[in-house]
Structure 1
Amino acid sequence: MKAMYIPTEDGYLFCKTSGKGKPLLLLHGSEENHEIFKYQVPYFNQTYHVIALDSRGHGRSDHGRTPLSFEKMAKDILSVLDYLKLERVSIIGFSDGGNLALYLASHYPAKVEKMVLVGANFKANGLRKKDFLFVQCHYYYLNKLGKYSERQRKRKEIIDLMWHQLDLTEEDLKKITIPTLIVAGEQDVIKPQHTEQMHQLINTSQKIIFPAATHFLMLEKPAAFNSMAVRFFTANK
């Protein structure tokens, strides 16, 4: 596994690459890093060139001088692809990483071949009510602390990716034409009707609900998830 820091217009992004084959980009969720894919990297790098990225403001990647947004983070991915000399990638996006994959696929469609979205939501109110309330309370708490602490101000920007910065529209999702697998847990923090709405808006999508699983189904049922994702990626070759 090779670790590297990739330059962007506003700081460096950390990632680890391993394996050979078609490129597969792994995008983690809010306040996480590439290590959330500990059960996926050693599985997929047997047949894929795996790129496990720490998104901007997370892990060992720089936060940058300007506020976080999905547009900025999507451009980060373009920088990663350019640095690695890749035209396009397939993606596994978990939670906010799935939301970022949605943004990338709708705004830069030529850069994504296929994607698996795990516990993604294109609107903040796609979260169950109690979970959305937690995001709001966390944001306001960090907003107050951020007046006195730079570290907490940056954390507030990360949390805000789940609220004000999540600005995808139904029209954005309708523009997505690549093969997409939408995955959620039966006990996910995402509303079932929201997951279904995403499936209906993306004409080229499939939907799978993991029984007796939560938002973290990749960690709870890694073997089942990994084999399902490989079947999806290798279908219609």
Structure 2
Amino acid sequence: MTTVETNAPGQYADVNGIRLYVETHGAGRPMILLHGGLGSGEMFAPILPVLAAEHQVILVDLQGHGRTADIDRPLDVALMADDIAALIDHLGLDRPDLVGFSLGGGVAMHVAFRHPEKVGRLVSASANIRRDAIYPEMLAQQGQVNGAAAEFMKETPMYELYQRVAPRPEDFPRLLDKIGEAMRVDFDFSEQVRGLRVPTLVMAADADMAPPSHYVEVFTLLDGGLRDGGWAGEGRPAGGHALAILPGLSHYDIHDSPLFAAVTLAFLDQGR
């Protein structure tokens, strides 16, 4: 495995058969920060200074996103989770915390499912564990995502970002094809969530892609919300799990909200 310099602020790390773009900001206990679909690490720019004030924040562009070129395999959260696990080893990190939004939240969860010994704490924001929890109108929109939609997205921030930073800007229709295909696959990770052994914060906006009740359901699978918490917290979930529904936000602005940063840091730093 090698690390290669780039003209951008970060570097490339060759791990698990993919050349991941990685940026490191700040110093302190490491936190790997994973972006949403059709985005990149840049989407956290408004809150990055707060997160990096006392933590080493490692921004990663996932397969086919941002400055990481696509490779010949599906866009699958389990495969991307193995990329992150390999990156943890490559960077010599000791149980970093994982923070992910949307697609990145799903990838972060799968790192904890598949490689729990490599993870400290987990923050999964706006990540759904069942496809049928997503609002029907959103599922219909996701079903229409394919390479042919690239022409209609030329005025969007996602297209602008990809054209500006991607190693192969012409691959944008390919990314849409692959992410559309991934979103049409049914999934239910309830059993994996029930078995999580990594302290996990389930986070969502109060107007997210699925109803707040879905994220409460995830918390319930983690032994949360089943009894009074107790004066000394003795009734809280045994695994150190927590739930946060952030007010006044949606799936499209939660990731750069000061509330996202504040709640994430409160969970990661509690008792440490």
Alpha-carbon shift at residue 173 of structure 1 (Å): 0.5
Structure 2 residue identity aligned to 1:117: S
Q: What are the Cα deviations for residues 153-176 of structure 1, in whole angstroms up to 9, with x where unaligned? A: 332212333331x64521100111
Alpha-carbon shift at residue 182 of structure 1 (Å): 1.2
Q: Contact 2:130 / 2:190 at 8 angstroms: preserved in 1? A: no
Unpaired segments ≥5 residues, structure 2: 1-7, 150-169, 224-238
Structure 2 residue identity aligned to 1:17: T
Report the RMSD for the aligned CA atoms in angstroms. 2.2
Structure 2 residue identity aligned to 1:104: V
1:208 has 2:244 as partner: yes
Inter-partner Cα distance in structure 1 for 2:77 and 2:260: 26
Q: Contact 2:32 / 2:97 at 8 angstroms: preserved in 1? A: yes
1:170 has 2:190 as partner: yes
Q: Contact 1:120 / 1:190 at 8 angstroms: preserved in 2? A: no
Moved over 6 A (4+): none
How many aligned positions are there? Answer: 229
Q: What are the Cα deviations for residues 120-156 of structure 1, in whole angstroms up to 9, with x where unaligned? A: 10122221111111101224966xxxxxx96523322
Report sequence identity in percent. 27
What residue is the counterpart of 1:106 in the other structure?
A: 113
What residue is the counterpart of 1:57 in the other structure?
A: 64
Say if 1:183 and 1:151 are closer, same or farther in 2 by CA, change over 3 A: closer
1:218 has 2:239 as partner: no
Q: Contact 1:186 / 1:213 at 8 angstroms: preserved in 2? A: yes
What residue is the counterpart of 2:79 in the other structure?
A: 72
Structure 1 residue identity aligned to 2:265: V
What residue is the counterpart of 1:37 in the other structure?
A: 44
Q: What are the Cα deviations for residues 205-236 of structure 1, in whole angstroms up to 9, with x where unaligned? A: 211111221112232x31x3222221111112
Q: Contact 2:126 / 2:208 at 8 angstroms: preserved in 1? A: yes
Inter-partner Cα distance in structure 1 for 2:56 and 2:263: 18
Structure 1 residue identity aligned to 2:63: R
Within 5 A, what are the aligned runs for 1:175-214?
175-203=195-223, 204=239, 205-214=241-250
